[in-house]
Structure 1
Amino acid sequence: MAKRTRIIEGSWNCTSCDTRNIPARHRTCPHCNNPREETGQESEFEFGEVDATSGKALREGVNDEKALSAATAGADWFCDYCGASNRGDTPVCRNCRAERSATSRALSEEPDADEAPPPKVPPAPQRSSRKWLFLALMLPCFGGCLFFLWGSRTHGVTGTVVATEWTRTVQRESFQRVSKTGWRDELSTTSPRMPVNGAGEVAGVENIRDCTRRQRSTRRVADGTERVCEDKTRRVQCGSEEKCTRKKMGNGFMKEECEDVPKYCDESYEDCRTQTRYRTEPVYDLSCTYDTQAWTEVGPPALASGKDSAPRWPEVRLGSTDRLRREEKYLVRIEYKDGKLKQHELEPKDEAEFLSWRKGQSVSLQVSNLGGVSNVAQGEAVR
């Protein structure tokens, strides 16, 4: 679409007499006759508010010939001798009649009007509050790190084995006939085989009986079709809207170009499709009872325990189809003084390691400042 162009005239404030909103075409204050200068705020032009949506200036454009002539004269320049501003198309200063030279400064109005203004620097109290907030957040972290470093440091102490304890259990299991249930298609008659020295057994399957239909699982079955809809959103063109860009011309005027561009809106719609509908139905099969052999616990486990002695297994009599399941647990108690009398417990993994500890034996320990024990080394036994 065709662009629409217009010229916006800015205004300036005289710093000599405080006259305000002087049109940019006037390079001299109409009240005190002071020439507009490059320094200070006299060359900082105000162009009024801008519509936030379109970017269009709310100030009316100029159409009179005098203003348009000033706008198209080029960037203003400032006299090297008196500092007065002059039209860009004039070769001599209107104030002192000095000629324009290669060193004469041109008016700079950066950034362009359509660019974002520079970020505002927050006031000192706000910076101070942020500094204190940062310190308030960092101090606990710093303190936590120091506490962790202090707590993880270790020191050596000497302890003594004050007791050794052991517990052993033996559970007798017998390979006995039992009844179980299973799915008929998974059962095949097989003769059992009894174990020899507690190994080599085969459970077997015998006397399959009492088969009944039971639900074994479920399955999904097609049951026609159904229409399924989902709410969605899409972007569609919904007319047009005006968008404008602005550029300062270096002489108190601003060129604005506007055009109509497509406008897009969110549109809700239903996305529908036809898909297969399913239902769940049970699957039945034959469940049967059968006889087999299985390891079965016989009676309560036999228990043996002791302190400061060599471990032993409790005695259990075995039948020809029996086996034993053994469990063992060992504990070594160590006392040491670290400010006050404390106790540490070790759990040896097997009998050989357990027998290497003796009551009265000295022990070297590494203890952290938080009380954790990280290393234990055996010393000489006290005689």
Structure 2
Amino acid sequence: MAKRIRIIEGTWNCTSCDTKDIPARHKKCPTCNNPRELTGKESEFEFGGTDAATGKALRDGVTDEKALDMASAGADWFCAYCGASNRGDQPICKNCKAERTDDSKALQEEADPGMPAPRPQAPPTKKRTLGKVGMALVGSLFFCCGSTIVYGFWLSAEHETTGQITSTEWKRTAYHERFTPVTLEGWQDELRTQAPRMPSDGKGELAGVQNIRGCVSRQRSTRKVADGTERVCSTKTRKVACGTEEKCRTRNKGNGFKEEICEDVTKYCSESYEDCRNETRYRTEPVYAQQCSYDTYQWKELARRDTSGHDDEPPRWAELSVGATDRVRREEKYTLHIAYDDGEKKATLEPKTEQEYLAWKKGQQVSLTVNNNGDVKQILPR
């Protein structure tokens, strides 16, 4: 697409006499003859507004041959002796006649933003150091992260302390159960006839499955089955080419002028469309099976006896009288209560068996392993 190039002239303000909007082609103020200098607002140019949609400058382009010549002269430079502004192609200062020197400051001409940037050359490899600021940042990060890590380690750190068993307690429960005939229900395809076996001394029993009867069809579950297809549509949008539009870009030439480049580019618009597809439709249907009654046996609780004690009382079981098809099921729990750190903190220990429980006594000294978070990790006799 064809490019359209214009030169836009900027304006500057004199800080000596306050004259405004002096065209960039004037290196001196037309009112007070003061040269434009690098310092202050005189080093800045105003180029007016731009159209928000296209980026095109609202100011008219330059057609004057003299101004166009100045625009192509390169970036302005400022005399190192008097500070006056000079054309980029002028080797001698127009104000004081001094030659341009290496220390003369100059404005910069921008590259075309529409062109790809030149590939930078790889700098020579050199040893990199963090410097004071980098070291400070690393130090800060290390302090923050390190503090969290150190605190975590501190919480998990363990230490040894001593304590004393202040009391002991036990609780035992005996259940009297009988192997009792019952009637249950089950799915026919899961039932297999099997003769029961009665327990001997409370063990060796087999529940069995007998007298399967009264089977009826009942809903067992549900399942999803395909029920045809349906067309599902949704409205979506997409970008499509819809003509062209003007887009402009500018680059500062560093001398009070800007080069504007305009092109006609493809314009894209949003278009709505229907996105349709065929999807399988499903329905839920019940699954039936034969449910039957059958005879079997289960252990059923007839009685319960609790016993408990503490400190020097020896653990004991309640007496239960049971028959040939009965059994006794037992549960037991043992607890030691411990105080440590001069009695300010408490802990408990639960031995698994009577033998373990009887190895501890009220008033006995113990050794505890505790972390800084207050978790008791181990309790041992002293």
Q: Would you call these one fold, judging by a TM-score over 0.5? A: yes
Aligned to 1:12: 12
Contact 1:55 1:114 in 2 (8 A): no
Gap change, CA 1:114 and 1:206, over 3 Å in 2? same
Question: Distance in 2 between the 1:153 and 1:255 partners?
Answer: 70
Q: Quick one: structure 1 residues 112 and 11, their matched pair in 2 at CA, closer, same or farther if it must change by over 3 Å?
A: farther
Q: 1:360 is matched with which residue: 354, 360, 363?
A: 363
SS at match of 1:301: strand
Correspondence for 1:109: 108
Write out per-residue CA displacement over residues 52-91 of structure 1, whole angstroms, 9 at most, x where no aligned residue: 4433323222122222121122223334544332323344
Structure 2 partner of 1:78: 78
User: Is the partner of 2:302 in helix, strand or coil?
Assistant: coil
Distance 1:166 1:92, change over 3 A: closer
**Is the CA contact (8 Å cut-off) linking 1:77 and 1:104 kept in structure 2?**
no
- Is this contact kept in 1: 2:13–2:21, CA < 8 A? yes
Whole-Å separation in 1 of the counterparts to 2:371 and 2:207: 55
Distance 2:54 2:37 in 1: 34
- Structure-2 residue corresponding to 1:135: none
Inter-partner Cα distance in structure 2 for 1:201 and 1:11: 108
Aligned to 1:303: 306
Q: 1:23 to 1:113 in 2, by over 3 A?
A: farther
Kindly indicate whether residue 49 of structure 2 is the aligned counterpart of residue 49 of structure 1: yes
How many angstroms does 1:167 deviate by?
A: 0.5
Match of 1:324 in 2: 328
Deviations 1:93-152 (CA, angstroms, capped at 9, x unpaired): 333444x4563736323667979xxxxxxxxxxxxxxxxxxxxxxxxxxxx999999999
Inter-CA distance 113–281: structure 2 relative to 1 (3 Å threshold) = same
CA distance in 2, matches of 1:88, 1:204: 109
* Equivalent AA in structure 1 for residue 6 of structure 2: R
Match of 2:25 in 1: 25
Q: Say which SS state the counterpart of residue 235 (structure 2) adopts.
A: strand
Structure 1 equivalent of residue 290 of structure 2: 286
Query: Which residue number corresponds to residue 61 of structure 2?
Result: 61
Displacement of 1:17 in angstroms is 2.0
| Pair 1:256-2:256 in alignment | no
Structure-1 separation of matches of 2:375 and 2:279:
63
What letter is aligned with 1:226?
Answer: E
Counterpart of 1:130 in structure 2 is none
Instruction: State the number of aligned residues.
Output: 351
Asked whether 1:161 is paired with 2:165, we answer yes
Is residue 349 of structure 2 the alignment partner of residue 346 of structure 1? yes
Deviation at 1:155, TM superposition (A): 8.5
User: TM-score, normalised on structure 2?
Assistant: 0.78
Please state whether the residue corresponding to 1:201 is helix, strand or coil. coil
| Contact 2:176/2:327 (8 A) holds in 1 | yes
**Which AA in structure 2 matches 1:301?**
R
Given that residues 177 and 303 in structure 2 are in contact (C-alpha distance below 8 angstroms), is that contact kept between their aligned partners in structure 1? Answer: no
Q: Deviations over 1:183-206 (max 9, x none)?
A: 122222222233344444332221
Structure 1 unmatched runs, 5+: 116-143
Inter-partner Cα distance in structure 2 for 1:147 and 1:250: 58
Q: Secondary structure at the match of 1:319?
A: coil
**Deviation of the 1:158 alpha carbon:** 5.6
Which of 201, 205, 214 pairs up with 1:210?
A: 214
**Partners of 1:104 and 1:311 in 2: how far apart?**
102
Distance in 1 of aligned mates of 2:77 and 2:346? 91
Give the TM-score, by structure 1 length: 0.77
Identity rate of aligned residues, in percent? 59
